[in-house]
């Protein structure tokens, strides 16, 4: 079975390292970014099946990042993780096309369940950190 490619985005390097380790141990291929800007630089050259992003980060937040990332790759699943699950956050996430919002600290069994569910579909990334195809700049359908 091919590994699913995931990009993790969180400004907390220690938390990010822990998530990377646990997800890699569970068979996922992981790339990481410590800011939205770093994530966008990676996303401009690579494709991933899923992006897991924190909401609150300096500069661009996770919802803003997700809006841009969704335009770069409309097939990528996006999971938002936040310590502030509020009606406002859920509304912003839904408006942006984010289907999964998990509370932080995330329960690993919940995150693994979500990621394994997306793993049932073919991996649009064709493997971790694969080249980003030219066609990926199309807009997200409304």
Q: Is residue 131 part of a domain?
A: no
Q: Is residue 136 part of a domain?
A: no
SS3 content of the chain, % helix, strand, coil (to 5): 40, 20, 40
For the chain, what is the domain count? 1
Q: Which domain, by its residues, includes 30?
A: 5-122
pLDDT digits (tens, 9 = 90+) for 127-136: 444 333 333 3
pLDDT digits (tens, 9 = 90+) for 90-115: 999 999 999 899 998 889 999 999 99
pTM: 0.82
3-state secondary structure of 54: strand
């Amino acid at each position: 079975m091919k590994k699913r490619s995931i990009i993790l985005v969180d400004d907390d390097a220690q938390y990010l390292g822990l998530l990377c380790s646990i997800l890699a141990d569970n068979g996922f291929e992981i790339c990481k970014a410590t800011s939205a800007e770093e994530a966008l630089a990676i996303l401009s050259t690579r494709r991933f099946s899923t992006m897991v992003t924190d909401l609150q980060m300096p500069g661009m937040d996770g919802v803003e990042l997700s809006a841009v990332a969704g335009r770069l790759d409309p097939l990528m699943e996006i999971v938002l993780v936040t310590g502030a699950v509020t009606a406002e956050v859920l509304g912003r996430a839904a408006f942006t096309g984010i289907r999964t919002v998990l509370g932080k600290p995330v329960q690993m069994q919940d995150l693994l369940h979500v990621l394994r569910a997306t793993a049932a579909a073919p991996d649009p990334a064709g493997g971790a950190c694969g080249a980003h195809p030219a066609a990926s700049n199309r807009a997200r359908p409304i």
